[in-house]
C-alpha cells in the first residue's frame, strides 16, 4: 500500500473558501449596482404623479364633452358633482375643478398638475 504524503493535502485546505480580497470586491460591486439602481428609479414616482394628474384632467374634459354630446348643451351647473350624478365620472377629483367650461387646478393642488 502506498500512502500519499504529497503537496496536494495543503493546497486543498487553502482553496476551500474565498479570500478576504475576493469578498471585499464582491461587496463593492454589489454596492455600486445598488447605487445605480437607486438613482435610476428615483424619478418614477414624480413621473407617475404627473401622468395621473394628466389622466385625471383628461377624464374630466371627456366627461364634459360627453355631457354636451348627450344633451346638446353644457350642464346648467358645471361642476364635477353634476357629472357624477349623470354617470359620466365615478368620483370627484382632488386635483382638478370644473370652472365654467374649463378644467382648472383646485386651490392647494400640487404644482405638478399645472
Residue 114 has pLDDT above 80, yes or no: no
pLDDT tens for 12-64 read 556 678 999 999 999 999 999 999 988 888 888 888 888 888 888 888 888 88
| Residue ranges per structural domain of the chain | 46-113
DSSP assignment of the chain: ------SHHHHHHHTSS--HHHHHHHHHHHHHHHHHHHHHSTTHHHHHHHHHHHHHHHHHHHHHHHHHHHHSS--SS-SHHHHHHTTS-SS--SSEEEETTEEEEPTT--GGG-
Distance from C-alpha of 63 to C-alpha of 67, rounded to nearest angstrom: 6
Position 107 pLDDT exceeds 80: no
Kindly report the pTM of this predicted structure: 0.56
Inform me whether the pLDDT recorded for 5 exceeds 60. Answer: no
User: What long-range pairs does 63-66 form, CB within 8 A, spacing at least 24?
Assistant: 63/88, 63/89, 64/98, 64/101, 64/103
Which residues does residue 97 pair with via DSSP β-bridges, in sequence order?
Answer: 104
Cell representation of residue 85 = 350624478
Amino acid at each position: 500500500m502506498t500512502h500519499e504524503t504529497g503537496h496536494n493535502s495543503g493546497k486543498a485546505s487553502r482553496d476551500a473558501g474565498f479570500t478576504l480580497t475576493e469578498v471585499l470586491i464582491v461587496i463593492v460591486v454589489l454596492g455600486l449596482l445598488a447605487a445605480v439602481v437607486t438613482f435610476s428609479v428615483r424619478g418614477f414616482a414624480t413621473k407617475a404623479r404627473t401622468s395621473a394628474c394628466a389622466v385625471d384632467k383628461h377624464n374630466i374634459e371627456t366627461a364634459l364633452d360627453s355631457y354636451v354630446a348627450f344633451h346638446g348643451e353644457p350642464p346648467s351647473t358645471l361642476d364635477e358633482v353634476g357629472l357624477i350624478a349623470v354617470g359620466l365620472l365615478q368620483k370627484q377629483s382632488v386635483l382638478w375643478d370644473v370652472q365654467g367650461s374649463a378644467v382648472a387646478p383646485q386651490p392647494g393642488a400640487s404644482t405638478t398638475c399645472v
